[in-house]
Amino acid sequence: MTEKALPDRWFSARQSRRAVALVLGWSLIANLGAASAPLGPATAASQSAEVAPETQQPFAPLPFTTDENPAKVALGERLFQDVRLSRDDTLACLTCHQLAEGGDDGLSRSMTARGIALARNVPTVFNVAFNASFNWDGGVPSLEVQAEGVLLNAQVMNNTWPELIAKLGADPDYAAAFRALYPEGLSPANLVDALVSFERSLITPNARFDRYLRGEHRALSAEELEGYELFKGYGCASCHQGINVGGNLFQKFGIFQDPDTSRSPAEQADLGRFEVTRVARDREVFRVPSLRNVALTAPYFHDGRTRSLKEAVATMARVQLGRRLSPQDVDLIVRFLHTLTGEFRGRPLTVPAQESP
């Protein structure tokens, strides 16, 4: 597989978008993803059965564990933090998806080692197993396709399979670890499989909101509950819903009002799914993002235009719902959103002080 066949627009700076090449690239690499179980809707549906009848909500709590093979997860974790995954040994997945923070990098848009500004804000890798599609435009159908895309993307990891397999295969530890887990040893599909096993293990259960959904009524304060009612009452939940409180729908950014793209730090407007489908109605349509751990994942929106969660909520109400919220209502909704912060490996993820409500 050549770099040319890959989704070269995937990360590219605005000027070099080529959606057609992108779509062709996906169809070529899609068979990699077919090897593993489907993600998203099926998983979400099986989770919703866990909601106690007296707390029927448009949401479902995250599970406490996943059934990933622990040895594959451990191998995937090593790969995730290994800079050798990039051609010039400068970037690891962890560089942009920091697990000690929100699973992102805290920047509006990050720069690659070669000084190229990525087209979009880095989304979190936490709870990705529960998203129905990937990237801001939802244009990537599986985590496998996503992983191969980033490894071979000239503007990110900039690798080719022969070079990457030769480099990692020269490390006797990797060669042995792959042989122990996969009959064929280290191969492109097995490398992707290990990486994706790790990504699927990145769940952040036991948020106070999840405890509430499991029937622990005191898990939310009166104000947070009021915020939850407003979140449902104003209609936020019609888009941000399901087990990930988002991640399973596409919607236009700016239904009632232009979201003011002049505020965007990006040099050109991002047309979202239109870049993938070239269908007019997909202009400025994006995947509705998951709001899990949203208090930790500033800056917000596909272009990282604001660090303030209050501003993000007020913008949403204005442009998606045609409502101007009072500062009190914004504050209550933000308090509710803070209850979506979960635990990673048994420890609560922490909210940076300046973003506390």
List residues binding ligand HEC (CB under 6 A): 10, 85, 91, 93, 95-97, 110, 112, 118, 120, 122-123, 125, 128, 131, 134-136, 143, 146-147, 150-151, 156-157, 195, 199, 231, 234-236, 238-240, 251, 253, 255, 286, 288-289, 291, 294, 297, 300-302, 312-313, 316-317, 320-321, 333
Q: Which residues contact 307 (CB under 8 A, 6 or more apart)?
A: 298, 299, 300, 355
Q: Which is nearer to ligand HEC, 181 or 237 (CB)?
A: 237
Give the up-direction half-sphere exposure of residue 84: CA atoms within 13 A in the CB hemisphere: 14
- C-alpha 161/C-alpha 181 separation (Å) is 20
CB of 192 to ligand HEC, least distance (A): 9
CB of 125 to ligand HEC, least distance (A): 5
Q: Which is nearer to ligand HEC, 52 or 221 (CB)?
A: 221
Distance of CA 252 to the CA centre of its chain: 18
Q: Which is nearer to ligand HEC, 51 or 325 (CB)?
A: 325
CB of 281 to ligand HEC, least distance (A): 14
Q: Which is nearer to ligand HEC, 206 or 290 (CB)?
A: 290
Q: How would you class 323 by CB atoms within 10 Å of its CB: exposed for 0-12, middle for 13-18, buried for 19 or more? A: middle
Q: Which is nearer to ligand HEC, 154 or 156 (CB)?
A: 156
CB of 127 to ligand HEC, least distance (A): 8
- Pick from 295, 286, 277, 271: nearest CA to 320: 286
**Peptide linkage before 299 cis (omega within 30 of 0):** yes
Q: Which is nearer to ligand HEC, 19 or 236 (CB)?
A: 236
CB of 272 to ligand HEC, least distance (A): 6
Could you tell me the sign of the dihedral formed by the alpha carbons of 262, 133, 197, 185, in that order?
negative
- C-alpha 274/C-alpha 26 separation (Å) is 16
Could you tell me the sign of the dihedral formed by the alpha carbons of 105, 111, 112, 117, in that order?
positive
CB of 275 to ligand HEC, least distance (A): 9
Q: Which is nearer to ligand HEC, 201 or 297 (CB)?
A: 297
Q: How far is CA 187 from CA 167, 180, 200, 258, in A?
A: 12, 13, 20, 47
CB of 239 to ligand HEC, least distance (A): 3
- Own/partner contacts of 307-312, CB < 8 Å, gap of 24 or more, are 307/355, 309/334, 309/337, 309/355, 310/334
